[in-house]
Amino acid sequence: MSSANKNIEKKLKAASELIHEALRELGASPTNPIARTASSSSAAISLPEHILALRDDGFLRTPRTVQEIHVELKDGYPCEYDRVRVALIRLLKKKEVRKTSKEVEGEKVIAYVW
């Protein structure tokens, strides 16, 4: 081997050692480089999980419109009305909530219940 190749090999080995040391400090290993922490975005509660929490707390015992659910979620999970509507449709498909109708100001509107 030439001296240039030996020099490159030494630098690569030093870089590899630095990487392994950094991984150990982060709590990861070379075989599991991505260690999940509590601050990870996957630890956040999603919109459907918030809706299901309302359901489990008894909020959906009586039929509720998308608007009512959106207003209830605003403080704990601020989001757009359409996101709530789509999340409810998806939960309906998974049979996590049921669909019914409710009369609001003389009009029948879609409501969700459990």
Q: Can you give the residue range of the structural domain that contains 84?
A: 45-113
Question: Are 38 and 84 within one domain?
Answer: no
Helices (H) and strands (E) in the chain, counts: 4, 2
Question: Are 50 and 37 within one domain?
Answer: no
Q: Tokens at residue 32, please?
A: 């599991």
Number of domains into which the chain is organized: 2
Question: Are 57 and 78 within one domain?
Answer: yes
pTM for the whole thing? 0.62
Question: Are 38 and 55 within one domain?
Answer: no
Distance, in Å, from the CA atom of 76 to the CA atom of 97, rounded to the nearest integer, reads: 20
Query: Which residues are within 8 A (CB) of 54 and not within 5 positions of it... i.e. 6 or more apart?
Result: 60, 69, 72, 73
Spell out the per-residue pLDDT of the chain, length 114, in tens: 678 888 888 888 888 888 877 777 777 655 555 544 444 444 588 999 999 999 999 999 999 999 999 999 998 899 999 999 999 999 999 999 999 999 999 999 999 999
Question: Are 59 and 26 within one domain?
Answer: no
